[in-house]
Amino acid sequence: MVRLELDQVVMRRMKEDDIEMVKALIKEGCEGTENRLILHILTRPLCLFILAVFSSILRCLVHSFILALAIPVFLLIIFLKLTMPRSTGVLGSSRPYWDYVGSSYRGTQDQTLLNPYCRISGKTPVTKKPRRRITPKDKDKEPSTENVTPEREQEAGQVWVADCDGEILGCIFRESEKHADIRRICRLVTGSWYRREGLGRLLVQSLEHRETEAGAHRVFTHVPYPSKLGETFFRKLGYRQIGEGTDEEEEDDEERKLESPERGLLGYPLTKVFFKDM
Protein backbone atom coordinates (compact mmCIF):
# COMPACT_ATOMS: atom_id res chain seq x y z
CA MET A 1 0.00 0.00 0.00
CA VAL A 2 1.31 3.44 -0.98
CA ARG A 3 1.93 5.69 2.01
CA LEU A 4 -0.23 8.78 2.21
CA GLU A 5 1.62 12.05 1.57
CA LEU A 6 0.05 14.44 4.07
CA ASP A 7 1.54 17.50 2.36
CA GLN A 8 -0.69 16.76 -0.66
CA VAL A 9 -3.91 16.80 1.37
CA VAL A 10 -6.24 19.79 0.97
CA MET A 11 -8.69 20.34 3.83
CA ARG A 12 -11.61 22.34 2.52
CA ARG A 13 -15.28 23.02 3.19
CA MET A 14 -17.60 20.37 1.82
CA LYS A 15 -19.35 21.13 -1.47
CA GLU A 16 -22.63 19.87 -2.85
CA ASP A 17 -20.86 17.38 -5.13
CA ASP A 18 -19.20 15.80 -2.07
CA ILE A 19 -22.41 14.91 -0.22
CA GLU A 20 -22.81 11.33 -1.40
CA MET A 21 -19.12 10.55 -0.88
CA VAL A 22 -19.24 11.98 2.63
CA LYS A 23 -22.35 9.97 3.48
CA ALA A 24 -20.65 6.78 2.28
CA LEU A 25 -17.55 7.65 4.32
CA ILE A 26 -19.65 8.18 7.47
CA LYS A 27 -21.51 4.91 6.93
CA GLU A 28 -18.19 3.08 6.65
CA GLY A 29 -16.77 4.79 9.72
CA CYS A 30 -19.88 4.12 11.84
CA GLU A 31 -20.07 0.39 11.13
CA GLY A 32 -20.44 -1.43 14.41
CA THR A 33 -20.76 1.69 16.57
CA GLU A 34 -24.49 1.29 17.12
CA ASN A 35 -24.15 -2.42 17.88
CA ARG A 36 -21.39 -1.76 20.42
CA LEU A 37 -23.54 0.86 22.12
CA ILE A 38 -26.47 -1.56 22.31
CA LEU A 39 -24.20 -4.22 23.79
CA HIS A 40 -22.92 -1.67 26.29
CA ILE A 41 -26.49 -0.93 27.45
CA LEU A 42 -27.54 -4.60 27.57
CA THR A 43 -24.65 -5.50 29.87
CA ARG A 44 -25.37 -2.81 32.49
CA PRO A 45 -26.41 -4.24 35.91
CA LEU A 46 -29.82 -2.54 36.05
CA CYS A 47 -30.66 -3.61 32.50
CA LEU A 48 -29.64 -7.21 33.26
CA PHE A 49 -31.83 -7.16 36.38
CA ILE A 50 -34.88 -5.94 34.41
CA LEU A 51 -34.30 -8.59 31.73
CA ALA A 52 -34.08 -11.27 34.43
CA VAL A 53 -37.40 -10.15 35.94
CA PHE A 54 -39.18 -10.26 32.59
CA SER A 55 -37.62 -13.64 31.81
CA SER A 56 -38.93 -15.02 35.12
CA ILE A 57 -42.44 -13.80 34.31
CA LEU A 58 -42.34 -15.24 30.79
CA ARG A 59 -41.03 -18.55 32.14
CA CYS A 60 -44.43 -19.13 33.72
CA LEU A 61 -46.24 -18.34 30.47
CA VAL A 62 -44.22 -19.96 27.70
CA HIS A 63 -42.87 -22.95 29.69
CA SER A 64 -39.57 -22.67 27.85
CA PHE A 65 -36.38 -21.41 29.43
CA ILE A 66 -34.76 -20.52 26.09
CA LEU A 67 -37.76 -18.54 24.82
CA ALA A 68 -38.21 -16.81 28.18
CA LEU A 69 -34.58 -15.70 27.98
CA ALA A 70 -34.48 -14.79 24.29
CA ILE A 71 -37.77 -12.91 23.85
CA PRO A 72 -37.02 -9.98 26.25
CA VAL A 73 -33.51 -9.56 24.82
CA PHE A 74 -34.80 -9.65 21.24
CA LEU A 75 -37.55 -7.10 21.95
CA LEU A 76 -35.13 -4.78 23.76
CA ILE A 77 -32.66 -4.89 20.87
CA ILE A 78 -35.44 -3.99 18.41
CA PHE A 79 -36.55 -1.16 20.68
CA LEU A 80 -33.00 0.23 20.92
CA LYS A 81 -32.50 -0.05 17.16
CA LEU A 82 -35.62 2.03 16.59
CA THR A 83 -35.21 4.59 19.34
CA MET A 84 -31.47 5.02 19.81
CA PRO A 85 -30.64 8.74 19.42
CA ARG A 86 -29.23 9.66 16.05
CA SER A 87 -26.42 11.37 17.89
CA THR A 88 -24.46 8.24 17.07
CA GLY A 89 -24.23 9.89 13.65
CA VAL A 90 -23.06 13.24 14.99
CA LEU A 91 -21.99 12.58 18.54
CA GLY A 92 -23.06 14.91 21.29
CA SER A 93 -25.64 16.63 19.12
CA SER A 94 -29.36 16.11 18.77
CA ARG A 95 -29.05 16.79 15.06
CA PRO A 96 -28.55 13.78 12.75
CA TYR A 97 -25.54 13.72 10.46
CA TRP A 98 -27.62 14.17 7.31
CA ASP A 99 -28.77 17.62 8.48
CA TYR A 100 -25.12 18.69 8.64
CA VAL A 101 -24.37 17.10 5.29
CA GLY A 102 -27.46 18.58 3.67
CA SER A 103 -27.00 22.21 4.59
CA SER A 104 -23.45 22.97 5.68
CA TYR A 105 -22.02 22.93 2.16
CA ARG A 106 -23.85 26.14 1.39
CA GLY A 107 -21.25 28.07 3.36
CA THR A 108 -18.18 29.72 1.85
CA GLN A 109 -16.90 26.88 -0.33
CA ASP A 110 -13.46 28.36 -0.99
CA GLN A 111 -12.37 28.09 2.64
CA THR A 112 -9.47 25.78 3.44
CA LEU A 113 -7.63 24.75 6.58
CA LEU A 114 -3.92 25.30 7.03
CA ASN A 115 -1.82 22.22 6.28
CA PRO A 116 1.46 22.50 8.25
CA TYR A 117 3.07 19.72 6.20
CA CYS A 118 3.02 21.95 3.11
CA ARG A 119 5.35 24.40 4.83
CA ILE A 120 7.77 21.61 5.70
CA SER A 121 7.87 20.04 2.24
CA GLY A 122 7.48 23.26 0.26
CA LYS A 123 4.98 21.55 -2.07
CA THR A 124 1.64 22.96 -3.12
CA PRO A 125 -1.23 20.44 -2.98
CA VAL A 126 -3.39 20.19 -6.09
CA THR A 127 -7.08 19.30 -5.94
CA LYS A 128 -8.55 17.60 -8.97
CA LYS A 129 -12.26 17.37 -9.49
CA PRO A 130 -13.26 13.68 -9.55
CA ARG A 131 -14.74 12.38 -12.76
CA ARG A 132 -18.38 11.46 -12.42
CA ARG A 133 -20.40 9.31 -14.79
CA ILE A 134 -23.58 11.00 -15.96
CA THR A 135 -26.59 8.70 -15.67
CA PRO A 136 -30.14 9.17 -17.01
CA LYS A 137 -31.24 9.94 -13.45
CA ASP A 138 -28.75 12.80 -13.29
CA LYS A 139 -30.07 14.25 -16.53
CA ASP A 140 -33.62 14.29 -15.22
CA LYS A 141 -32.61 15.52 -11.81
CA GLU A 142 -33.67 19.08 -11.09
CA PRO A 143 -31.50 21.40 -9.04
CA SER A 144 -32.37 21.62 -5.38
CA THR A 145 -34.91 24.34 -4.57
CA GLU A 146 -34.75 23.81 -0.82
CA ASN A 147 -34.78 27.11 1.00
CA VAL A 148 -31.90 27.06 3.47
CA THR A 149 -31.85 30.20 5.55
CA PRO A 150 -28.61 31.65 6.97
CA GLU A 151 -29.94 30.77 10.42
CA ARG A 152 -30.26 27.08 9.56
CA GLU A 153 -26.88 27.07 7.85
CA GLN A 154 -25.32 28.56 10.97
CA GLU A 155 -27.15 26.05 13.18
CA ALA A 156 -26.07 23.12 11.00
CA GLY A 157 -22.39 23.75 11.65
CA GLN A 158 -19.56 22.91 9.27
CA VAL A 159 -18.19 19.86 7.50
CA TRP A 160 -14.55 19.87 6.39
CA VAL A 161 -13.20 17.20 4.06
CA ALA A 162 -9.65 15.97 3.42
CA ASP A 163 -9.17 15.97 -0.34
CA CYS A 164 -6.20 14.42 -2.11
CA ASP A 165 -6.09 14.33 -5.90
CA GLY A 166 -9.89 14.51 -6.10
CA GLU A 167 -10.53 11.72 -3.59
CA ILE A 168 -12.10 12.42 -0.20
CA LEU A 169 -10.05 10.60 2.44
CA GLY A 170 -11.74 11.82 5.61
CA CYS A 171 -14.02 14.43 7.13
CA ILE A 172 -14.55 16.30 10.38
CA PHE A 173 -17.77 17.86 11.68
CA ARG A 174 -17.79 21.05 13.73
CA GLU A 175 -21.01 22.07 15.42
CA SER A 176 -22.46 25.56 15.29
CA GLU A 177 -21.07 28.25 17.58
CA LYS A 178 -23.39 28.22 20.58
CA HIS A 179 -20.77 30.12 22.59
CA ALA A 180 -18.36 32.63 21.10
CA ASP A 181 -15.20 31.06 22.51
CA ILE A 182 -16.16 27.36 22.65
CA ARG A 183 -16.18 24.85 19.78
CA ARG A 184 -17.33 21.26 19.53
CA ILE A 185 -16.10 18.47 17.26
CA CYS A 186 -19.04 16.16 16.62
CA ARG A 187 -17.57 13.54 14.30
CA LEU A 188 -14.20 12.58 12.87
CA VAL A 189 -14.04 9.92 10.16
CA THR A 190 -11.12 8.70 8.05
CA GLY A 191 -11.26 6.15 5.24
CA SER A 192 -10.29 2.60 6.16
CA TRP A 193 -7.31 2.68 3.76
CA TYR A 194 -5.89 5.85 5.34
CA ARG A 195 -6.02 5.11 9.05
CA ARG A 196 -2.90 5.24 11.19
CA GLU A 197 -1.35 7.56 8.60
CA GLY A 198 -1.76 10.77 10.62
CA LEU A 199 -4.78 12.00 8.66
CA GLY A 200 -7.09 12.20 11.69
CA ARG A 201 -4.47 14.11 13.66
CA LEU A 202 -4.01 16.49 10.73
CA LEU A 203 -7.75 17.21 10.50
CA VAL A 204 -8.15 17.86 14.22
CA GLN A 205 -5.05 20.00 14.66
CA SER A 206 -5.74 22.06 11.54
CA LEU A 207 -9.30 22.75 12.69
CA GLU A 208 -8.03 23.62 16.17
CA HIS A 209 -5.58 26.11 14.65
CA ARG A 210 -8.36 27.81 12.67
CA GLU A 211 -10.71 28.02 15.62
CA THR A 212 -7.97 29.36 17.89
CA GLU A 213 -7.31 32.17 15.42
CA ALA A 214 -11.07 32.84 15.42
CA GLY A 215 -10.99 33.37 19.20
CA ALA A 216 -11.90 29.95 20.62
CA HIS A 217 -10.17 28.96 23.84
CA ARG A 218 -11.69 25.50 24.40
CA VAL A 219 -12.74 22.58 22.19
CA PHE A 220 -15.09 19.79 23.24
CA THR A 221 -15.46 16.43 21.54
CA HIS A 222 -17.74 13.43 22.09
CA VAL A 223 -16.45 9.86 21.77
CA PRO A 224 -18.70 6.74 21.67
CA TYR A 225 -18.64 5.18 25.13
CA PRO A 226 -17.23 1.76 24.11
CA SER A 227 -14.63 3.26 21.72
CA LYS A 228 -11.21 2.79 23.33
CA LEU A 229 -9.50 3.71 20.06
CA GLY A 230 -11.22 7.10 19.87
CA GLU A 231 -10.50 7.77 23.54
CA THR A 232 -6.80 6.98 23.11
CA PHE A 233 -6.61 9.11 19.96
CA PHE A 234 -7.92 12.27 21.59
CA ARG A 235 -5.87 11.75 24.75
CA LYS A 236 -2.73 11.73 22.61
CA LEU A 237 -3.80 15.08 21.19
CA GLY A 238 -3.98 16.58 24.69
CA TYR A 239 -7.69 16.16 25.43
CA ARG A 240 -8.92 15.34 28.94
CA GLN A 241 -12.16 13.65 29.92
CA ILE A 242 -14.68 15.63 31.94
CA GLY A 243 -14.80 14.32 35.49
CA GLU A 244 -11.12 13.40 35.74
CA GLY A 245 -10.11 16.64 37.43
CA THR A 246 -10.44 17.51 41.09
CA ASP A 247 -13.79 18.49 42.59
CA GLU A 248 -12.60 22.07 43.02
CA GLU A 249 -11.70 22.35 39.34
CA GLU A 250 -15.07 20.95 38.29
CA GLU A 251 -16.99 23.34 40.53
CA ASP A 252 -15.07 26.41 39.40
CA ASP A 253 -15.39 25.59 35.69
CA GLU A 254 -18.90 26.56 34.59
CA GLU A 255 -18.23 25.67 30.95
CA ARG A 256 -17.73 21.99 31.77
CA LYS A 257 -21.14 21.88 33.46
CA LEU A 258 -22.78 22.98 30.20
CA GLU A 259 -21.41 19.95 28.33
CA SER A 260 -22.95 16.59 29.21
CA PRO A 261 -22.72 13.15 27.56
CA GLU A 262 -25.51 11.87 25.35
CA ARG A 263 -27.65 9.36 27.27
CA GLY A 264 -29.74 6.41 26.15
CA LEU A 265 -32.05 3.86 27.76
CA LEU A 266 -32.24 4.04 31.59
CA GLY A 267 -29.99 7.10 31.52
CA TYR A 268 -26.81 5.23 30.65
CA PRO A 269 -24.25 7.44 28.85
CA LEU A 270 -23.63 6.77 25.17
CA THR A 271 -20.68 9.13 24.85
CA LYS A 272 -17.67 10.34 26.79
CA VAL A 273 -16.96 14.07 26.71
CA PHE A 274 -13.40 15.30 26.28
CA PHE A 275 -12.07 18.86 26.20
CA LYS A 276 -8.90 20.72 25.40
CA ASP A 277 -7.88 24.24 26.39
CA MET A 278 -6.25 26.07 23.49
Q: Could you tell me how many residues make up the chain?
A: 278
- 129 belongs to a structural domain: no
HEC string of the chain? CCCCCHHHCEEEECCHHHHHHHHHHHHHHCCCHHHHHHHHHHCCHHHHHHHHHHHHHHHHHHCCHHHHHHHHHHHHHHHHHHHCCHHHCCCCCCCCHHHHHHHHHHCCCCCECCCHHHHHHCCCCCCCCCCCCCCHHHHHCCCCCCCCCHHHHHHHCEEEEEEECCEEEEEEEECCCCECCEEEEEEEEECHHHCCCCHHHHHHHHHHHHHHHCCCCEEEEEEECCCHHHHHHHHHCCCEECCCCCHHHHHHCHHHHHCCCCECHHHCECEEEEEEEC
Q: What is the pLDDT of residue 142?
A: 46
Residues 6+ apart with CB under 8 A from 277: 217, 218
Find the CATH number of the domain harbouring 37: 3.40.630.30
Please tell me the predicted confidence (pLDDT) of residue 120: 58
Inside any domain, residue 28: yes
The total number of structural domains in the chain stands at 1
Tell me the pTM. Answer: 0.76
Domain assignment of residue 97, yes or no: yes
**What domain range is 21 assigned to?**
6-124+150-244+261-277
Q: What CA dihedral angle connects 193, 195, 200 and 201, to 10 degrees? A: -140
- Residue 181 within a domain: yes
Domain assignment present for 256: no
d(CA 34, CA 270): 10
User: Which long-range CB contacts under 8 A does 161-164 form with residues at least 24 apart?
Assistant: 161/11, 161/12, 161/13, 161/14, 161/18, 161/22, 162/9, 162/10, 162/11, 162/190, 162/199, 162/202, 162/203, 163/9, 163/10, 163/11, 163/12, 163/127, 164/4, 164/5, 164/8, 164/9, 164/10, 164/125
Dihedral, CA of residue 18, residue 117, residue 215 and residue 232, to nearest 10: 80
Asked, for residue 101, whether it belongs to a domain, the answer is: yes
What pLDDT score was predicted for residue 74? 92
Question: What is the per-residue pLDDT for 80?
Answer: 82
Looking at residue 164, its pLDDT comes to: 86
Establish if 33 belongs to a structural domain: yes
Q: What residue ranges of the chain have pLDDT lower than 50?
A: 1, 87-88, 131-145
Does 141 reside within a domain?
A: no
